Amino acid sequence: MAKSSSVLIAALRETAGRLGKGATYEWGHMGSCNCGHLAQTITKYSKGQIHGAAMWRYGDWREQLRDYCPLSGMPLDEIIDQMLDMGITRENLAHLETLSHPDITDRLPPHHKHLKHNLRDDVVLYLHTWADLLEVQLLTHTLAAKPLELVEV
């Protein structure tokens, strides 16, 4: 699972909010799909810039993630680098494209367990659920790291 941080949680929520308010969504477009929208939030690049970067190499996000090399100098690899620097893993991104990470899908409401990867509302729900999961992890880690203070009575 991604490394939980307030910055990543905010990026997930911002992406979900933008999609929920009607931002252009097209699962088959590298800059307007599930990963493309998160990449827009993290990099501040436009959907066109992200799509253009992806066209230097063959394949959708999952294929590009499989072929990713941090030393390649390929434009999409540099975008992926920024996403990885935020604490996301390549596995997280591959699951985002298909809305399928078991840690996230296990937390979905019972009537929404079977998400469709190319439905805007399902992407929004997945992103919010992922952010909620990371928030719990961050809170748990923060509480575990703080020593309890004893108060004398």
Write the pLDDT tens digit of every residue in 98-149. 999 999 999 999 988 889 999 999 999 999 999 999 999 988 765 555 555 5
Domain range enclosing 123? 6-145
Cα angle vertex 73, ends 58, 48, to 5°? 55
Structural domain count, the chain = 1
Q: Considering the domain boundaries, does residue 1 fall inside one? A: no
Name the 3-class secondary structure at 19. helix
Q: Considering the domain boundaries, does residue 121 fall inside one? A: yes
- Does the pTM of the predicted model rise above 0.85? yes
CA 15 to CA 39: how far, in whole Å? 9
Q: Considering the domain boundaries, does residue 150 fall inside one? A: no
**Lowest mean pLDDT: which of 18-22, 73-77, 91-95?**
73-77
Contact 43, 79 (CB under 8 A): yes
Q: Considering the domain boundaries, does residue 151 fall inside one? A: no
In the predicted model, what is the mean pLDDT of residues 1-30? Answer: 92
